[in-house]
Structure 1
Amino acid sequence: MDKEIKTILIADVDEKSSSSLAKFFAERGYSVITSKVASEVIQKIQNTRIDVLVMNVELEEMKGYEVVPIVKKITPKLPIIIISDDFSLEIAKKVHQAGIFYYAMKPLDMQEMELAIRDAFKELEKEVTTSIDRMVTISTVKEEPAGVEKKKEAQLIDGKAVAKRIKEELKNEISQLKEKYHSSPVLLAIQVGENPASAVYLKSQHKGCEEVGIDFQLEQLPKEITEKELIKFIEEKNEDERVSGIILQMPLPAQINAEKVQAIIDPAKDVEGVNPENMGMLVYGKPKLAPCTALSVMELIKSTGTSIKGLQVTVVGHSSIVGKPLALLLLSSPFESATTTVCHIATRDLASHTRKADILIVAVGKAGLIKGEMIKEGAIVIDVGVNRVGDKIVGDVLFEEAKEKASLITPVPGGVGQVTTAMLLRNTIEAWKSRLGIPVESERI
């Protein structure tokens, strides 16, 4: 029996964009219907089997996010992907509050769109949608009674989902490049002595590498090794053409200066982005391999569809691997940068800074540092902190209070940490591609 052809409805007032998307998905075996009028979109969903709706914020007659609740009343389980070229925080909030499956910004990354569609179909397989759900007419839908609107809690920024998408993209890219160049990326992890916390991170690195197709190698060195011996070992690995990336596991024994040794790692293989040369490139706004946690935060903000241009972004914490590089990343574009404030232990009246933040990023390592009253109504909150309180893992932000004020928030666990490992894998691939002389490209419309 032939496999059932899935139908995608593309709703976009931009006919050029709509045509490009339609061609892209038709070439991949999908049935595609297009429209640019809101009422026509609703009618098609009423009368035609649609498996996924890809809809621009801009439509004729109505905004796309205004169409979403109507569509959900007709067919509650239909995955809806919203696209937009409006980078404003206000639009991003409205889209996420509408409750959609995925939000993508133009220019569209077509590989990302294809993965979003695949994930949408997987979601459909989990939910059984009857034909009755598909054919309910708008006239039978009852309006909610008027009354006091219940305040909405913040939506979660799902780090696990973001990491999954990144890994899927990397897996596909690695597979194609292996076939073309007959080469494989190799991540070398160096551990000096034994440490339980380091062992957990190593296990996560190994698993991530296996998932995407990176060869993971572990070199375990004795804790008695001298600094000079470790430097010599790293210098040898710098020259090893088989090794794409090097990561030095922390902590190191007391006899070794971590910063001095990290500076020895070849900047082109420094997948943690901590070599002084890589840090320096951040100052010039031309990052090559940047610190993974800082990249993770930027990726999570990007996943919300929010442009940072001109927004008030407050970073609490100024460590060399999170706060400082993150501030530089937020300022890395000549025209699209955020208005960035960095707070630290010497900051006076911390709350006066956090309350102004459209995006609040907290990376201190102190449980409960940020309370709900310190957060601006409708802000995006990224909690980088990981703290053990009793038998629980919590962030730096009081989550239960924060979710009453924020529009979007990362959970702990399940937020930044998930994406940080994915950024390590991406850095490894970028290092590998650089050694192969492959330029970074993406198919966009």
Structure 2
Amino acid sequence: MIPFLSQSVDMVLALPIHGEAFLLRRGGIHVLVDSGYKKDNISNVIKEHICDVNRLDIVVCTHGDADHVGGLPDLLRSWGNSVGQVWLPGRWSSVIPQVYRDPSLFFNQLVNELDSNLRNPSDKIISVVRCMGNDENIPIIEQDMGYQIRQGEINVIEDLIDDPIDYSLDIDRIPPEPEWFINLRRDKEVLCSDVAYDHAYKSAIRKVKYRKRKFINSEFTDDICEYWLGLIETSDAIRNIAALCISHSIPTRWFDFNGFINNGLSSGGVNGFLVPINAIEQPSIEIEYSLYMNLTKINQESLVFFAPPRNSLLGVLFCADSPLGVGPNFSYSFLPSYSPLSPIVATVPHHGAESNAIAYQHLKSWGGVDVFLRAGGTIKQPGLTFLRQNDCPRLCTKCPKVGHSPMLSGVVFVPYYWPGLIPFGRFCDCFPPNGP
């Protein structure tokens, strides 16, 4: 434990785990953005490293990858009544009611979709499974996702710099929950029991593993079945998160990427404190996609949140796995149209994967970053573009390439003290193959 972290100073920490999780303390409010893998035991990590955090005012999940969402159910079980709000991706709105009310039907439908793809793999499925483990962004098939990119309408987020500051997190200031989630809260006594759910969940896993053995002559059987097992695990995490939010009466807010794409504006969050960059907060509408499309882990739809710097408050951009752009090759930035005030800390997009190289161009055009904070990742990360970001300090919680285990790293903000930001932890000293 680092002694100065017990003081009430603004800070952002990359927690020392194998997945990705960041803890922001800003104006005395604690925010957890993502929760790592299930095996990371994020609850114990927080208690071990930050001695005075006894409440998480906001818990954010940016998307459904296991290294971002896996630890959230256990965190909610442990912290329960000490969590103020949970912010979740709106794309889950079509999944949660089904898997919560009738998990047997839900998982049977998912397995039926697997059977269809094993018999006749579509080009879309083949392209998805080829991306597995390669740091690549799973391609979006726009006609399937139901939206069109409207060029020239992306950089029109409202300028928050001059808005009144209001950090109220009172429950009565939170927008109403969508009707479908209110109905789940109302009907919680008659919803499928945990025992029945667990039976359906384990049965689905057995069925997929059986198909993996049965269709041994199919070229893509192993990859498709492994992908489906991942979808089932994602379903399990989503269902358990919803169940725990309901059982602990935690206010839940939903942020919809598709709504942002459709109108080019972001909205919601806590004005001046933490706001979405590529989503709108609204009652989510169920969208009629196939189940596997609703569960597919599309990194470019990761929710991005911004804590804008104000007066004596630290500014942080939480990039998750997003390339920070949309359109062909993600070349249209959706970062705010104004240049932010310094200082800014940015979490590293997709652990520094080279597939997100365009994000650094967007950040530089936006106004630059004072510190990069990197968490999670595999031995394939970071890529060359991240390693060439030499204009500011780069912090990494771990580096599998050289065998470093996770180490608490972050930035403390001391206003009115030059340079204001005090980075600590593991400084990245890796150089690209051609030198710095």
- Per the normalisation by structure 2, the TM-score is 0.28
Greater CA radius of gyration, 1 or 2? 1
- Per the normalisation by structure 1, the TM-score is 0.28
